[in-house]
Amino acid sequence: MIEGFKIPNVKFKVREGDTAENQETCSIGGKWIEKNTDDFFKGKRVILFSLPGAFTPTCSSQQLPGFESNFTKIKDFGIDEVYCCSVNDSYVMNEWAKKMGISNIKLIPDGSGLFTKYMGMLIAKDHNGFGQRSWRYMAVIKDGIVEKWWQEPGINNSGSDDDPYIETTPENSIKYLSSTK
């Protein structure tokens, strides 16, 4: 991916309004909403980071909570929204946000993997039983155009368990944003 790239226009199936009586029951009762790329990115300057999956170790212990705890600092640099995208369905993404106590970062479910594929980041994680997932990447996107791009080294489809988390940290986005202010 290169700076100046226009992100793909795809549709996302988002589940809204599901509730649960308690933590032991599944959230139900909501409805499906269809959103597209413009709903998330048009007319905004955003941070988008993508990761291999909800409820996975690095994603849950470092990346998502790191962006949540740095949200205000990131917003202070003129960012309208911070999005986390993963090749998971909306039910999983909603429950992950709830379990993790995420209130600021908006999660984008790419259940079909089309957005990730068109971003050039869809990889096979069959060796872990994950199927198709996203390689870890991050971007500053302004009105649908990639302003700045980061991705982890060694993009793999090889069956390796490599899952580097070096480039796509909130600290790297803050460093870049502070240099453009």
Return the SS3 of 28: strand
Name every residue whose Cβ is closer than 8 Å to that of residue 34 and which is 6 or more positions away in sequence: 11, 12, 13, 14
| Tokens coding 132 | 């198709």
Q: How many residues does the chain have?
A: 181
Rg (CA), the chain: 16
Task: Answer whether 116's CB lies under 8 Å from 134's CB.
Answer: yes
Return the SS3 of 145: strand
Backbone angles phi, psi at 143, to 5 degrees: 50, 45
Residue found under tokens 């090889």? 158
59 catalytic residue (yes or no): yes
| Tokens coding 170 | 């909130």
Q: Which of 26, 59, 84, 85 is catalytic?
A: 59
Active site residues: 59
